Each structure stands twice: as C-alpha cells, then as structure tokens.
Structure 1
Amino acid sequence: MEVTVTPTEDRSIIIALRLEGGAAFIVATAAYAALAEGWWLYAITALLPDVSAAGYLAGPRVGARAYNIAHSYVTPFFFGLIAWLSEPALLPVAAVWVAHIGIDRLLGYGLKSEQGFKFTHLGRIGRERFEDDRE
C-alpha cells in the first residue's frame, strides 16, 4: 500500500515552521558560543547529522527513518541531556546538532517521507516542487 504525504497547503504554517527553524539555529549557535572554546568543533560537526542520509542506500523506508531520527529535535535533546548528566564537554555538540536541524528547516529541508528524499513535512524539495505550481 502506497502512502501519499500531503504537506499543508497553508503557506503561513510553512513560513512559521521555517522561521522556527531559523530561531532554533540562532539560539543553538549562541548556546554553542557560550559553551565552547572556538569554532573548530562547530565546523567539524556541523554536517555530521547528514551522514544519516546514507540510510537511503538500504531503501527509502530505512533512509527516511535514519534521516528523521538524526533530524528530529528530540534526538539532540536526549544527547544533550545525557551529556549534561555524564559528560558536559559534549554539550556543544548537542548545540551544533540543533543548529544543523534549524538551518535545514529554515531552508525547507524537513523530515522525510518514505516516498523518497524529496518528500518532506515542509513540502517537496528541489525543482520538481515548482512543477506543481504550474499545473
């Protein structure tokens, strides 16, 4: 059975979600600046959550699940909580992780559908998204 994901048609919700991502990016980057000594760790770990896209090598279902786990705010929250309780030196990594998710959301890269990488909770990504507007 094929599941069709239909993102919201309400542009104001999409704009609000993107702005929310931008706010998360700014606050998480400020938290990183307060927690870390220098920007080298930020540069090294900024794209680390995107390694989860390798899950797509096992198919769209595994890929979407791996990507969504790495790109849900819940995952860095729990990572940060564990770091705070056991290894506070890892807190800046949690901040970078949240910043990564935030900038992704600001740019329109949302959580993925099992239909494929280009189908997100924020709508389709890529050039194909404009084809829907022309029809």
Structure 2
Amino acid sequence: MNSLTVRRWIRLEYATGFILCLFLYLYAGYPVTLFFLLLLVPDISMFGYLFNKKIGAFIYNLGHNLIIPFLLLIVTMTGGLSIAFVCIWLAHICMDRSLGFGLKYGHSFKETHMQKTF
C-alpha cells in the first residue's frame, strides 16, 4: 500500500528543492524567462565526456554536485555574488535529481548515484 518508496521520497524532496529555488529566484525580482533560459547551462559540463568517461564523469560531477553551489550561497550572503546564479544552479541540480539523474560514475554515463542508492 505504501506508494511512496524511498526513491519517490527523494525525488519529491528534489522537486520541492527545485520549486524553492524558483521561488527564491522570483522573490529576488529576477525575470522568469532568464531562469528558464539558463536552467540547462550546468549541462555544459557534459562536454568532459569528449575526452573519456572518467574525465567526463569528474567534470560532470563538478557541475552537478551540491557542495559548490552551497559554498557560493555563502558568498551571496556576503554580497559577493548574485543569488540568481546560485538559485539557477541549485534548481538545475534539483531538477535533474527529481527526474532520477545524479552524479556519474567513471565507467558509465547512464549509471548514477541515484540508481546505486536504492
């Protein structure tokens, strides 16, 4: 009867994170069109796969981990960076993970931490 598996809970959490990032972005007064135009910019990190799978996974994971945007969030609090940039980056990560995409392993583009944790 329990239709909310752990996987679904985690995806729901990330979907909620995406909505929160969008809300904060809009609350700060930035245009919604710019949000959606820039939402896929972190996927530029996929170009690392042009070298090989191991380098590709490393570069992709740099663009899709939560550590860097969270650290940049601290910088925004000191006035050193626009919160728009961080909201879009975090929204992208949350969107990806809510769809089941995650950090990559060095041997396969399709295999992610989202599949391994369940």
Give the TM-score of the pair, scaled to structure 2. 0.85
- Structure 2 matches for 1:25-64, cutoff 5 A? 25-64=18-57
Contact 1:76 1:98 (C-alpha < 8 Å) held by counterparts: yes
Number of corresponding residues:
113
Give the equivalent residue in structure 1 for 2:5: 12
Contact 2:66 2:90 (C-alpha < 8 Å) held by counterparts: yes
- Structure 2 matches for 1:67-82, cutoff 5 A? 67-82=60-75
C-alpha separation in 1, matches of 2:45 and 2:28 = 26
3-state DSSP of counterpart to 1:119: strand
Question: Per-residue deviation at 1:19?
Answer: 1.4
Residues 84-103 of structure 1, C-alpha deviation per residue, up to 9 Å, x if partnerless?
A: 32434x11110111111111
Give the TM-score of the pair, scaled to structure 1. 0.75
Give the equivalent residue in structure 2 for 1:128: none
Gaps of 5+ in 2: none
Give the equivalent residue in structure 2 for 1:92: 84
C-alpha separation in 1, matches of 2:44 and 2:84 = 19
Q: Which has the larger radius of gyration?
A: 1
Gaps of 5+ in 1: 1-10, 125-135
Residues 14-50 of structure 1, C-alpha deviation per residue, up to 9 Å, x if partnerless?
A: 2222112111101111111111332233133211110
Identity, in percent, stands at 32
3-state DSSP of counterpart to 1:118: strand
* Backbone CA RMSD of aligned residues: 1.8
